[in-house]
Amino acid sequence: MASRVLVSCPSRFLFLMLSLLVSCFAVAFAGNFQRDVQITWGDGRGKILDNGNLLALSLDQFSGSGFQSKNEFLYGKVEAQIKLVPGNSAGTVTTFYLKSPGSTWDEIDFEFLGNLSGHPYTLHTNVYTQGKGDKEQQFHLWFDPTADFHTYSITWNPQRIIFTVDGIPIREFKNFESIGVPFPKNQPMRLYASLWEADEWATRGGLVKTDWSHAPFTASYRNYNENGCVWSNGRSSCPANSPGSRPGGAWFSQELDFRGKNRVKWVQRRYMVYNYCTDKKRFPQGAPRECNMS
């Protein structure tokens, strides 16, 4: 795994300013946790607060906690502002992801792998189709994700999956079924989020264990927003058309323009710490087919 690479001060300053400007517009018409989600496990460790505007998950040595959206979607855009576990969070995993049920599930992941105080969080992304993943990319963020809330978004449409942080795209996974690469398109998915303990692998491959003297660990979510084609009674129903867009709204046909592609390249060049496409130990016969497509 590559070490973290910092950018020069002027370039870093400009990027941070861009991030702040974009984040001001990243969340619109936020949903309400009381209306849109349900806490599914944790025996009271997950709490909906502030009239449904805030949701806190906690983890101690006995249990973590989690919630899920009440709706299932076949394509959609989900986002939330998340403030991660501060301090020594080694061994903890905070998640925000889409997943279908069953043994051959589809899944689109944001996972935040905790670390020792002063070390960077690892943002882990992955895409599963019919129960098979192995498409991991990991990043160190350009800010402290424990000091304040930041916006994390997944856009899933028939042609691509886009991961964004504070409105800045960090990864695009395209539909390359034409060359035999599976793409999640047939199974409706629900939004899930959780805080749990995985110290056998989460921090430096399991070398750093959870220090329970810092428990309970807490991660907070706010400004949750879902906009998708809701699955019900065996069919999906998309929201009304937005002006100039396809059914479902602008996200349904969203793609990265030249500027967006350059932002992805910029983030990946400076902050990516693992890319399955370049892992020769896992893929000695060559990178998976989609890695060689533009």
Assign 121 a pLDDT band (cuts: 50, 70, 90).
very high
Q: Among 30-39, 41-50, 277-286, name the one with the lowest average pLDDT.
A: 30-39
Domain count, the chain: 1
- Give 199's contacts (C-beta < 8 A, 6+ positions apart): 90, 91, 206, 208, 209, 210
Catalytic residue among 111, 197, 226, 290: 111
Catalytic residue among 72, 79, 107, 226: 107
240 falls within a domain: yes
Query: Which range of residues forms the domain containing residue 268?
Result: 9-283
Assign 294 a pLDDT band (cuts: 50, 70, 90).
low
245: CATH: 2.60.120.200
228 falls within a domain: yes
For residue 184, cis peptide bond before it (omega within 30 degrees of 0): no
Task: Reply yes or no on whether 111 is catalytic.
Answer: yes
pLDDT for position 205:
87
Task: Reply yes or no on whether 107 is catalytic.
Answer: yes
What is this structure's pTM? Answer: 0.88
291 falls within a domain: no
Mean pLDDT of the chain: 89
Task: Name the residue among 162, 179, 192, 191 with its Cα closest to residue 260.
Answer: 162
